[in-house]
Structure 1
């Protein structure tokens, strides 16, 4: 069955994988919209109190010969101490990650998961709006369009996955986030931002915050409404150790003290 065979092939290596993960030349040399040098270049200073990653996190793997991109379509189960978080524009962000794993990945880069309040402040922007870009939802500004066919159902049909496994084992299939009209590269929806210069805080991937009870915020490409509108979106539907194709994260850190 050709459809089934092709659907089991993942983008794992070579130039194809590198093109989805390696940042463009000069990435990270971003000038803060506030003109501040108190945060690393890939982070924005929010409310003069916290540095927040501008882009949803990706992972790099630590190897004896240096760092290399970790496939954003692979869980890190059993490899938590081999990866660290990075924030890059124009790459596929990491899904398939639990809150606990995300917290470890941030710590490996000298950062931490954002608190819920920090995350909401960054999302709402200095204008304190429901969406990063304004008070009212605007179609197509963020990656929250919702596909006509649910991605889990589409993969299940391609792979002939049993219906009873649809919302269990199928949820971590690496092909889900490789479907078209689903997960997008960081910053691809360029208007999904605010004056702080943080991107994709509504839609694209759910984002874990630092809550041991398990909270993720912002919604993902199939849902930014069922648990609150825009930056108000919050759910504790799963434990901090849970992951699936929709769960991602970004990191925070305390800013350097001003002289």
Structure 2
């Protein structure tokens, strides 16, 4: 059985620690997992940036956080202030949610201005920006393509599919969620310009799913299933994983 490039796979992952019920103990455990598996970053809630920065100091695991999470409806001035605070607390990667209602209204001046202001805040603090589309809420490809064009014009680092919490209520009253579909990932890869990368978030929970999006050209994957994915990579390579899966609450969030 051929060995998998486990360290390379780890550096594809933003380890998501975003569940609403996440405790301080689970945050510490999640940061320890991030260190053990040598992922690219942790993606955490803004209040936790200070603690995560302390836990991950002197490592190459980056601290990322979310802005306007999960539905993007905050005033632009608040999103900018939240971005600056997060960066000054130690975040070096910012995942912002677009104002979804403004995207659906096709108020592109508003959408572009907000992304630009948050991009400028990131630039001033030396952080990179990822823009979350929340693709489950966007009913046609035209809106996603336009967002790719806006983000390319501004020069953000990444466009990103989903928050992991974009549940859509159907006619039967039941909630459905797709997350990072192959269709949306291919669409985004095809319509961003040079220098803008694509992050798949939502529903990537297995090694096979990670390998599929990696082969497509996706540069980052947001997932809470890091241990499941990378333990399987170790197993397929005939190696012993660095640790057992310890936190089933985090692993079952669906992100």
The structure showing larger relative contact order (alpha-carbon pairs under 8 Å, at least 6 residues apart) is 1
Name the TM-score, length of structure 2 as normaliser. 0.28
Name the TM-score, length of structure 1 as normaliser. 0.28
